Amino acid sequence: MSRVPTLILGGTGYVAGELLRLVALHPQLEIAGVMSDSQPGESVAKAFPHLAPVLGDLRFMSESHLTKLVANLPVSALFSAAPHGVSAALIDRLLKAAESAGTRPRVVDISADYRYDTAEAYAAVYKHEHGAPSRIKDFTCAVPEHLAASPTPHVAHPGCFATATLLASVPLLSLGLVSAGLAAPTLFVSGVTGSTGSGRKPVDGTHHPTRHSDLYSYNALVHRHVPEITACAAAASGVTADFAFVPHSGPFARGIHVTVQAALAAPHAGLDTKTLLDQLRSFYAAAPFVRVLDSAPRVKDIVASNYAHLHATSNGRTVAVMCVVDNLNKGAAGGAVQWMNRLLGLPETAGLTAPAAGWT
């Protein structure tokens, strides 16, 4: 088939840069436009010098220019890496233009705007009204490994912390391994993220002299990804669980390491590590980007790739599952391309099989 024209919103951030890298090397997608209202007409390669060899003279577009493209392309792939609170309304305007013109873009939103089932649930977390409540019904939020096909025409990709936590947690819940305690099953999550997870605009948490050779927690037990993780885990496993999540800022640029711990349910008391690993491998047997290892996963082994590495251990009373993903790739741009491949009927692995860079 001919290559599918691909459009990217929010084009100057780290996730957009990773999208550009993946799409430029994708065998069946082709960059047709990159939107940045703040830099229309400027060279995209100026914002991402490392991509200059594959971007040529590509220029940022304004919203009006990109809207005309959407209305004139019979089929297109549209990725939004626009900020939370901006993405929803922007996508809605573009889809309305496409609907009026009779064209059919497929959308994967990497912001948080379409991750919740209702506008009220979104507003409760992000403290502002949803930008396009009537459009929520057109989006489904899940990691690809936990949903065989999207029931809606468009997809919202979970956040990077959520991706790693869900990959580690959903098997435990689906297999009934976690004790329910007095109410719901409780999973204790500790996660460490690289500085690129905070976005391109410099802030105290990403300033190198502050972050270098240091490790510290933030938003303990109140991180905004918790409601998202809870909802996605329930949808994937059928079990509503409590997640006690403590995120940390790590002294590296890319990658996430998450450890999920939980007490074993009584019927599984005495479960050994080998059996637990076998169960995880069986659970992800059809997932091309998930590898279950015999030893602890390392961030360097997945950086710049769409692969997730898991390991687990059990002492017969408690289980611990460790997961590492690249926050910009599997946790954002790569997972989004994986979804887009599905939405377009392409091989799920197209453009995503490159191994990790290593020694970063």
Active centre residues (catalytic): 160
How far CA 320 is from CA of 73, 127, 252, 274, in Å, comes to 48, 34, 24, 13
Query: Shortest CA distance to 53 belongs to which of 81, 9, 20?
Result: 20
* Sheet with 242-249, edge to edge strand ranges: 216-217, 242-249, 186-193, 256-263, 318-325, 308-314, 290-292
Residues with Cβ within 8 Å of 192's Cβ and at least 6 positions away in sequence, in order, are: 215, 247, 248, 249, 250, 256, 257, 258
Q: Which amino acid is at 38?
A: S
Is 341 in contact with 347 (CB distance < 8 Å)? Answer: yes
Q: How far is CA 227 from the centre of its chain?
A: 15
How far CA 158 is from CA of 112, 142, 285, 297, 322, in Å, comes to 7, 6, 22, 22, 18
Q: What is the DSSP letter of 222?
A: T
Q: H or E segment at 323?
A: strand 318-325
Alpha-carbon distance of 165 to 245, in angstroms, equals: 9
